[in-house]
Amino acid sequence: MHNLPLHLAEDEIKVFLASLLHGSLFGFVQINFAVHLHRQKKYNARAQTGTFTVADAAIGIKFLAEYGGSKGLRLNDRFIYFQRSNHSPRSDIVETISRTPWIDPIKEREQKERDEVLTSSSMSISSIQFCWQCRDEVVSIEAEANLDADLRFDPGRREVHVSTKDDDLYLSIIAIRYTSIHAISRHYSTVDGNYVLFFELGVPPTFLCRAPSFLNLGSEVTYSRMSTFPHLDNPRAISFTGLALRLVFASKEESDKFSKLSETAGIRHVYAHETIIERRGLFSVTNLDTLERNLLKFDWNVAFQLSSLLQNMILDTSELLDLLPRIKKISDLKGKNYTAKLLKEFCNVASGLWYSDDFNETIESCFNSVEREFTKQGEITSMIPDDGSYYQSLHVIITPTTMFLNGPFPEQSNRVIRRYDNENHENFLRVTFRDENHLQYRFDREVDGPRFIRERVGVFLKNGLTIAGRAFKFLAYSQSALKEHSVWCAGFNVSSVEHF
């Protein structure tokens, strides 16, 4: 492109070219293309030059046939002229415009302006609180960090960032993806007299750390990922409270500022429903330790199902501890296999209570109902072949912040499993490593993924994991399982102290 007006920017030229490339001559198809203006070599130049690139050579040839050479096109007060470039198009530009749709440059410029407003603005936070939403609609604050923090929008990553610096200038960040937000409430709390922001999330936030800028020179990696937020007073609670985050604003003005910026960010469904808060200590160190000691009194397959009620966030510690005496009587009377199957069925039903409209149904009444129905079923014949080709496998999913327990499910056997009697098969776990959304880990250019894998996954592979007071160690992997990020772990029943 020659004889371009000096005052025109790239986006203005793109608008002009789009009126041609998206017109009748090219079938009204919104072809994507790139525009690049050349650097001025003369300080007193009267015009500027540039190039525009299309991915389809046929379109370029057709454009030049219509407007190229001496024909030119009138733009404002002058004619601009087109000719084929002497240089081959850059492959990265061709690939980009081939893979991405056309975006109106005016809208793109407006979005950049909004992004600049968001990235240059922040709100002061005085407290970060991770919570558990109880069945009586009370929100229990289970882990807290009282410190000065900033709340920002990161439009590039489409995340809300809550960040705080330590004495060494390292930045700890709680990153909440826009797509993981189920609901936001911005309100004044009559309980503690604060202006707060309450997030209900479908997926736990990501915990990131960013080193001081002078340590990241020349590196594309900006963040390191962590498995928890390091400033909490009760870090063990994070495994159960990642879906409810309560932020306390430093003032009303900071709360009002969020209201305006959330509109700019495109987050419009912000409600004013007050959350009633208490500090019930459901996931305190004392409660978690008490529960683990009590689970050691049960046979392993029963303890696994009991632990799944907690790890899968179906019951809190108080509800589970209240249920244990009843489970112990059933286990002593009818045996571990019957009790484990009953608990698996209860787990399926109890998980639906969070979505039930029957507010009068309690955990106790739900368990009573499940037990009655389960008793009526009688002994269910197993559909698994008895030739040793399959066995019932317990599954564990380990995420960046917690673990989920599932099964047993029918699993194809192998030569290692077949070395042991059926009664010992429960001592093998299939352990899968997943991201918070239960999908496989994905590459993020800005995050040091290999380091996180070493620090999160590597710890379990080297040191093993503990479930309901039982220790399990890494055993082996198969090629097919490894593609799914799965391995086998083996443990021992603490009552027999027999290792497999």
Residue 246 resides in a domain? yes
> Residue 168 carries which DSSP code?
T
Q: Are 298 and 361 within one domain?
A: yes
Give the C-alpha separation, 497 to 500, whole Å: 10
Q: Which of 350, 377, 404 is the last residue of a domain?
A: 377
pLDDT greater than 60 at residue 497? no
What's the pLDDT at 462? 93
On whether the CB atoms of residues 140 and 277 are closer than 8 A, the answer is yes
What's the pLDDT at 492? 57
**What pLDDT digit, counting tens, does each position of 62-87 carry?**
999 999 999 989 988 889 999 999 98
Q: Which residues contact 273 (CB under 8 A, 6 or more apart)?
A: 185, 187
On whether the CB atoms of residues 135 and 350 are closer than 8 A, the answer is no
Which range of 47-51, 164-168, 190-194 scores highest in mean pLDDT? It is: 190-194
What's the pLDDT at 327? 96
Q: Confidence band (pLDDT; 50, 70, 90) for 493? A: very low
| 145 Rama class: left (phi>0) / alpha (psi -120 to 50) / beta | beta
Q: Are 297 and 400 within one domain?
A: no
What domain count does the chain have? 4
Q: Confidence band (pLDDT; 50, 70, 90) for 496? A: very low
What's the pLDDT at 68? 93
H or E element at residue 245: strand 244-249
pLDDT greater than 90 at residue 305? yes
Considering only residues 497 and 109, tell me which one the structure prediction assigns the higher pLDDT. Answer: 109
Where in the sequence is the domain holding 156, given as residue range(s)? Answer: 116-278
- Mean pLDDT (the chain, rounded): 90
Q: Are 180 and 289 within one domain?
A: no
CATH number of the CATH domain containing 179: 2.30.29
Residue 4 resides in a domain? no
Residue from 64, 68, 34, 47 nearest 5 by CA? 47
Residue from 6, 477, 70, 445 nearest 220 by CA? 445
pLDDT greater than 80 at residue 498? no
Q: Are 243 and 318 within one domain?
A: no
Residue 357 resides in a domain? yes
Q: Are 122 and 225 within one domain?
A: yes
Residue from 390, 299, 382 nearest 343 by CA? 299
Q: Are 143 and 266 within one domain?
A: yes
**What pLDDT digit, counting tens, does each position of 455-483 carry?**
999 999 999 999 999 999 998 888 888 88
**What pLDDT digit, counting tens, does each position of 256-296 carry?**
999 999 999 999 889 999 999 999 999 999 999 999 999 99
pLDDT mean over 230-245: 96
On whether the CB atoms of residues 421 and 435 are closer than 8 A, the answer is no
Q: Which amino acid is at 334?
A: K
- Look at the alpha carbons of 294, 298, 301, 306 in this order and tell me if their dihedral is positive or negative: negative
pLDDT mean over 401-417: 86
Q: Which token pair is 194?
A: 């604060």
What's the pLDDT at 499? 35
**What pLDDT digit, counting tens, does each position of 82-120 carry?**
999 998 999 999 999 999 999 888 888 889 999 999 999
What's the pLDDT at 166? 86
Q: Which token pair is 117?
A: 């407003």
pLDDT greater than 80 at residue 208? yes
Considering only residues 422 and 229, tell me which one the structure prediction assigns the higher pLDDT. Answer: 229
Q: Which of 250, 278, 306 is the last residue of a domain?
A: 278
What's the pLDDT at 383? 58
What's the pLDDT at 414? 75
